[in-house]
Amino acid sequence: MNHRASSFPDYLDMPLRGRSRLLLVLLVVPLLASFLFPLWRISMTAPQYPKGLWLDIHASRLTAGNAGHDLAEINTLNHYIGMARITREELRDLDWMPFGLVAIALLTLRCAALGNVRALIDLSMITAYVTMVALARFIFMLWEFGHNLDPKAPMRMEPFMPVVFGQKQIANFMTYSWPRFGSVLLGTFATGVFLLTAFLLWTGRREARAQLAMRSAPAAQ
């Protein structure tokens, strides 16, 4: 922006500066790199499983410990308490997440090439929507697994909410749920977009107030 806006609405329509454009391009790197790393890990330990069992959730697939055999073991344990099997097909949100992340990457590049402050605000809102919906769906998925228990299961348990962040004792198992490096990369992208948007909005409001003060000064005299 080579000149000052005369009002805040005018500021929103002004093109982004070169440094803002460069930052947006750089932020696409961690966004796309998040496909290479797991987003979340769910694990459990018990006396009979001293090394633990773990399952990693990626943006488009599942991986598990012990060359994938931990997933079968987890599903066997879940069967005893009537919990549904954890399968790629059951995690339906993984079908749309890759498309959502790629769409955000394309919108970010478009904003970097052609965008103004208003387009950056739209990008922030879309990013917030996709990330919050993905987290909310993950929490709801855990709720469904813990509450839709088969009443004919060999072991009867009261419905429960699996742990989302941290650790939780379930029967004789200690279960853990933590974000992984893929979520850190996604968080880096989202935080960068949000901070850039907040900074430009603050700058625009300050410039608009300065312009208003300059126009009001002659009238006051």
Q: Are 112 and 25 in contact (CB under 8 A)?
A: yes
Residue 5, pLDDT above cutoff 70: no
Q: Classify residue 35 by its DSSP letter.
A: G
How much is the average pLDDT of 12-33? 94
CATH number, domain 8-213: 1.20.140
Place of tokens 């996709």: 130
pLDDT at 7: 67
Give CA–CA dist 195/156, Å, rounded: 49
pTM above 0.85, yes or no: yes
Task: Kindly give, in sequence order, each residue whose CB lies less than 8 Å from that of residue 160, ignoring residues fewer than 6 positions away.
Answer: 146, 147, 170
10-19, 97-106, 205-214, range with greatest mean pLDDT: 97-106
Q: What is the pLDDT of residues 170-215, one digit of tens each?
A: 888 899 999 999 999 999 999 999 999 999 999 877 776 766 666 6
Residue 99 dihedral angles phi and psi, to the nearest 5°: -65, -40
Helices and strands in the chain, H and E counts: 6, 5
Break the chain into its structural domains and give their ranges: 8-213
Token reading at 2: 């080579």
Q: Is the pLDDT of residue 3 over 80?
A: no
